[in-house]
Amino acid sequence: MKVLAAIPTYNEKENISRMINSVLNINETIKTAGDINRLPLLPLCINVLIIDDNSPDGTAKIVKEYISSHKRLSADTNSNVNVNVKDGGNKNANLISNADVNSDERVFIIEREKKLGLGTAYVAAFNFALDNGYDYVITMDCDFSHNPEEIAGFISLMQSEKCGMIVGSRYSGGVRVINWSMKRLLISYFANIYAKFITGIKITDLTGGFNMYDVNCLKKINLNGISSRGYAFQIEMKYRMVKEGKCSFKEYPIIFYERTSGRSKMSKGIIFEAFFMVIKLRLGLFK
């Protein structure tokens, strides 16, 4: 089971190294634990792809230094790894990895020349996964609002249910959000009710970003047609997976933690994009 954790970044120098280590440690945690929920465990490899939008705080530099410091002594620094950025973003994006002749890849970075949006970042990650033989893609934030330890639960559920998509839900069976203001919580909660009602997709958390996708299902949707740049992408992606890809899904209850380092990327523009994207999807106005 080859899993890619896709993590878009913009000014995440305070979190990036700890996040990479936390995700990579899941490999060893699962191996040490043996079977997950008493299911036979497939051979597991979790890699990390950072998609950085030219962070002025030097996030990309930290990732490149991490990659360089973790190369094996025998690494072939000229090894090539495919990357596909058909997302309409930066066609000259640079890919750097710690790939060596023994295919010991663990961490990769796609550097983009400017802020191109969350949606295009994830599309670049999906294309990367398709081109490089991954079985699953996990999407998550870099600010630890998504707990990397939950990845083991995602993998367990995917292994048992064999579904096309697992949705990390903050609202399945109750509200699981830590340290949000009541105003922000209500906006998020009712936005999901609105999106669910308009789209007809029976998912409690359509706007959440902690999700797992089967690459075989990603092949069934038009990734190049995805138009959302901000958090509307989360709604559009789930809609496409269910309606366009005809893929099954399961919800996995998660706890969402408000970031403790760095600044939130939420804005009014992002909220408005999501509001109108829901209507656009309902009317079938997408490629």
Residue 201 falls inside a structural domain: no
Residue 89 falls inside a structural domain: yes
10: phi then psi, degrees, rounded to nearest 5? -155, 110
| Residues spanned by the domain of 47 | 2-181+207-218+248-260
Residue 270 falls inside a structural domain: no
pLDDT in tens, the chain (287 residues): 899 999 999 999 999 999 999 999 997 777 655 545 555 556 789 999 999 999 999 999 999 999 998 875 334 444 444 454 544 445 546 666 543 323 357 999 999 999 998 999 999 999 999 999 999 999 999 999 999 999 999 999 999 999 999 999 999 988 999 988 898 899 888 988 988 999 999 999 999 999 999 999 999 999 999 988 777 899 999 999 999 999 999 999 999 998 665 555 555 665 666 666 777 777 776 76
Three-state SS annotation for the chain:
CEEEEEEEECCCCCCHHHHHHHHHHHHHHHHHHCCECCECCCCCEEEEEEEECCCCCCHHHHHHHHHHHCCCCCCCCCCCCCCCCCCCCCCCCEEEECCCCCCCCCEEEEECCCCCCHHHHHHHHHHHHHHCCCCEEEECCCCCCCCHHHHHHHHHHHHHHCCCEEEEECCCCCCCEECCCHHHHHHHHHHHHHHHHHHCCCCCCCCCCCEEEEHHHHCCCCHHHCCCCCCHHHHHHHHHHHHHCCCCEEEEECCEECCCCCCCCCCHHHHHHHHHHHHHHHCCCCC
Question: Given this model, what pLDDT does residue 270 score?
Answer: 59
Give the Cα-Cα-Cα angle 19, 46, 245 (nearest 5 degrees). 105
Closest CA to 254 of 144, 163, 167: 167
Q: List, in order, residues 6 or more apart from 50 with CB less than 8 Å away.
A: 7, 8, 9, 16, 20, 59, 60, 63, 107, 108, 109, 110, 142
Residue 190 falls inside a structural domain: no
User: CA-CA distance, 226 to 222, in Å (whole number)?
Assistant: 7
Give residue 200's identity as a one-letter amino acid code: G
Structural domain tally of the chain? 1
Residue 17 falls inside a structural domain: yes
Instruction: Return the CATH number at 73.
Output: 3.90.550.10
Residue 231 falls inside a structural domain: no
Residue 92 falls inside a structural domain: yes
Residue 214 falls inside a structural domain: yes
